[in-house]
Amino acid sequence: MNQTNRQFENARILLGISGGIAAYKAADLAGKLTAAGAQVKTIMTDSACRLVTPVCVQALTHRPVYTSMWTGPEDFRIGHIELADWADAMVVAPATANIIAKTAAGVCDDLLSTTLCVCWNKPVLLAPAMNSRMWANPIVQANLVRLQEQLKFRIVGPETGRLACGTEGIGRMAEPAAIIEEIRHML
């Protein structure tokens, strides 16, 4: 981990957590990035907050967690612009079919989707996580291709394994170590 510590020292990572059950892995990712020397600011969707609390992520990153376009720390002005300007790179883990679709279509209806719209010219990494039938949906696949080709977003995963519904298949979010390795390549 020492080599990783040097590589992430002072890197500013904006972590988006959307509402998939893999949000618990995102909390682990946030802690590992912070331990590796990165400054991590986190945006959580309403659905993500139902799975992992912002307090948990804040404790792991030692920074406030942003959950709304309408509230935030006192210095939080035009949040989605300031967060995008601050970041060296943005990571969305888990990236649900919902946030992938909203981003591909340019829908900006919450802090995470709005910030992703602003970050189109920065390194962005998506770590998809969803049921294997959702993953196989041609619209989801077309949205991912669009994001990769038009915006140069990077994708890591998903992996094959046990899914939240109890079946086996592709759709598990990549492990934090694999996501960290992709971030290292991006930076």
**Residue carrying structure tokens 């612009």:** 81
DSSP state of 121: G
Q: Does domain 2-186 have CATH number 3.40.50.1950?
A: yes
- pLDDT of 2 strictly over 60: no
pLDDT at 92: 98
Q: One of 56, 108, 119, 165 is an active-site residue; which one?
A: 165
Closest to 182 in 3D by CA, of 73, 33, 9: 33
* Residue 1: pLDDT band with limits 50, 70, 90: very low
Instruction: Note whether 112 and 99 are within 8 A (CB).
Output: yes
Which whole number is the average pLDDT over 12-20? 95
pLDDT at 76: 47
pLDDT at 85: 82
Q: Residue 185 CB: number of other CB atoms within 10 A?
A: 10
pLDDT at 3: 47
* 165 is known as an active-site residue: yes
The percent of residues above 90 in pLDDT, for the chain, comes to: 72
Angle at 116 between CA 10 and CA 54, to 5 degrees: 65
Which whole number is the average pLDDT over 60-86? 74
